Amino acid sequence: MSGVSLDVAAGEFFSLLGPSGCGKTTTLRLIAGFEDPDPDGGTIRILGESVIGKRPYQRPIGMVFQNYALFPHLSVAQNIAFGLEEHRVAKKEISPRVTRALELVRLDAATYAARRPSELSGGQRQRVALARALVLEPKILLLDEPLGALDLQLRKEMQLELRRLNRTLGITFIIVTHDQEEALAMSDRIAVMSAGRVVQVGSPAEIYERPRTVFVARFIGEANVFDGAPAQLAVRPERLSIVSADAATGDANVLHGTIREIIFLGEALHILVNVGASTDVRVAVRNPGVLSTPMPWSTGQPVQVTWQPGDAQVLEP
């Protein structure tokens, strides 16, 4: 990692997004205190104060790990209470705080407190891991790929749940993920990382609609990248249109090609148009209901791909 510099606002839902090995988990571990910055001037401040030299338990953080890290021999209540006991919280306070933490993650204490982790579903174990972190009332909650082990539907439900907790509690959430849709759905801001560097920081809309580089354009969603002189342009598939080969196109940009493939994706169709030299352009169109509405396009059909000049984003080298 080199030259990573980030500011995260209080109460913000902030995502560290990037491919495997880009440095996002290392960044999270630096914040948590499991790693130390280089001795040549790197610093970490929480609530305006340097935490260099402070161990994880001395920092106002909670952490949820990718594998949840629950103690299999302890009950749900004992797992949640473990951190409170380590912090020497008065015994009379522990039980009500455990109950409140379970309520926060929508688990009924009477039903789940006495169960062992092996008796829980994946989603329930994830909620217990959240409760164990939240019971300490941290100022910052760090989450390392917390939804990676869940199936698609449960993952989408937990995305909404995490967003609800962030808004309800008003504490800062910093999450590591490699899932672009997950980051776009949950975040106030996203830091896109590559090869140990932060390449762009912005809101989900800024990251998606105004990518700065080819890497960001192609890593976040789909993008068609065109070589210009001297810059490159990115155009999202949904910003492109397909018209017949002889249609008038006005002042739009135009590429002539032949439909190579039509991909059914449920709510949308992605149409691959070959525009020469083994180059495909991907066009996204709304699914009109292909079982009841005839498709106007077919493979092998000559067409024009068009887009308005304002729909292209100029990319940095």
Which structural domain range is residue 259 located in? 223-315
pLDDT for the residue 4: 85
Q: Would the pLDDT of 263 be above 70? A: yes
Residues 145 and 244 in one domain: no
Residues 207 and 227 in one domain: no
Residues 300 and 273 in one domain: yes
Per the structure, the count of domains in the chain is 2
CA-to-CA distance for 61 and 20, rounded, in angstroms?
Answer: 24
pTM beyond 0.85: the answer is: yes
- Last-in-domain residue among 191, 215, 239: 215
Residues 206 and 244 in one domain: no
Provide the pLDDT confidence category of residue 41 given band limits of 50, 70 and 90: low
Half-sphere exposure of residue 13: CA atoms within 13 angstroms, side-chain side: 22
Domain assignment of residue 1, yes or no: no
Residues 204 and 227 in one domain: no
For the ranges 125-129, 149-153, 190-194, the lowest mean pLDDT is seen at 149-153
Contacts of 67 (CB under 8 A, 6+ apart): 149
Domain assignment of residue 6, yes or no: no
Residues 173 and 230 in one domain: no
Domain assignment of residue 183, yes or no: yes
Give residue-wise pLDDT tens across range 125-134: 989 999 999 9
Residues 305 and 184 in one domain: no
Residues 239 and 302 in one domain: yes
By CB atoms closer than 10 A (0-12, 13-18, 19+), residue 301 is middle
DSSP secondary structure letter of residue 84: H
- Last-in-domain residue among 170, 190, 215: 215
SS3 316: coil
Q: How far is CA 66 from CA 22, 25, 107, 143, 157, in A?
A: 17, 11, 20, 8, 17
Q: Would the pLDDT of 316 be above 80? A: yes
Other Cβ atoms within 10 Å of 57 Cβ, number? 11
CA-to-CA distance for 28 and 43, rounded, in angstroms?
Answer: 14
Name the residue with higher pLDDT: 149 or 6: 6
Which CATH number do you get for residue 306?
Answer: 2.40.50.100
Phi, then psi, of 92 in degrees rounded to 5: -70, -20
Domain assignment of residue 227, yes or no: yes
Q: Would the pLDDT of 277 be above 90? A: no
